[in-house]
Amino acid sequence: MRYLHTMLRVRNLDRALAFYRDALGLVEVRRSERPQGRYTLVFLCAPGDEALVKACPSGRGAPLVELTYNWDEEAYGEDRYFGHLAYEVDDIYATCEHLMKHGVVINRPPRDGQMAFVRSPDLHSIELLQKGEARPPQEPWASMPNTGHW
């Protein structure tokens, strides 16, 4: 068994892409418009996984996030049965600073130099984990409180 992708329903595809692609830095690798079903699928990978995607013609070479946008509005609510997506990052502090510049709230700041949580515009939780050893605690992160829930 091999992990392939996680499907997330999104309410506004442009807002979702501004978060996942522009702020978080994921790369769009495939898009499928389905007029008969009235939905759009967008598949994204982490930048470090692009070579894996290209190496497999079926599109199943790397773990992907599938954004599903239903053209007709549906109410998804904020159910917490979905846990979170997790991504390893080279510099937890630089990543959080970059996200904040894109207007993303850091719900659980990386006070420990190891872990942070943010939420997408559709309220999906995203865990960010420092690659390798934790970074030494530093301000403003060390004293930053949690915001909302994650």
pLDDT in tens, the chain (150 residues): 677 788 888 889 999 999 999 999 999 999 999 999 999 999 999 999 999 988 886 667 789 999 989 999 877 666 544 668 889 899 999 999 999 999 999 999 999 999 999 999 988 889 999 988 999 999 999 999 999 887
What is the pLDDT at residue 150?
Answer: 78
What is the pLDDT at residue 73?
Answer: 81
What is the pLDDT at residue 85?
Answer: 86
What is the pLDDT at residue 80?
Answer: 47
Give the integer Cα–Cα distance in Å for 9 and 16: 10
Asked whether the CA dihedral 16, 17, 23, 26 is positive or negative, the reply is positive
C-beta of residue 20 within 8 angstroms of C-beta of residue 120? yes
Q: Is 146 helix (H, G, I), strand (E, B) or coil?
A: coil
What is the pLDDT at residue 128?
Answer: 92
Fold of the domain spanning 1-72: 2,3-Dihydroxybiphenyl 1,2-Dioxygenase; domain 1 (3.10.180)
Range list for CATH 3.10.180.10 in the chain: 1-72, 83-150
Q: Which residue has the tokens 């997330």?
A: 8
What is the pLDDT at residue 76?
Answer: 66
Q: What is the pTM of this model?
A: 0.75
C-beta of residue 105 within 8 angstroms of C-beta of residue 145? no
Give the integer Cα–Cα distance in Å for 101 and 89: 17
What is the pLDDT at residue 81?
Answer: 46
Q: Which CATH number fits domain 83-150: 1.10.340.30, 3.30.200.20, 3.10.180.10, 3.20.20.70?
A: 3.10.180.10
What is the pLDDT at residue 79?
Answer: 58
Catalytic residue numbers, as ranges: 127
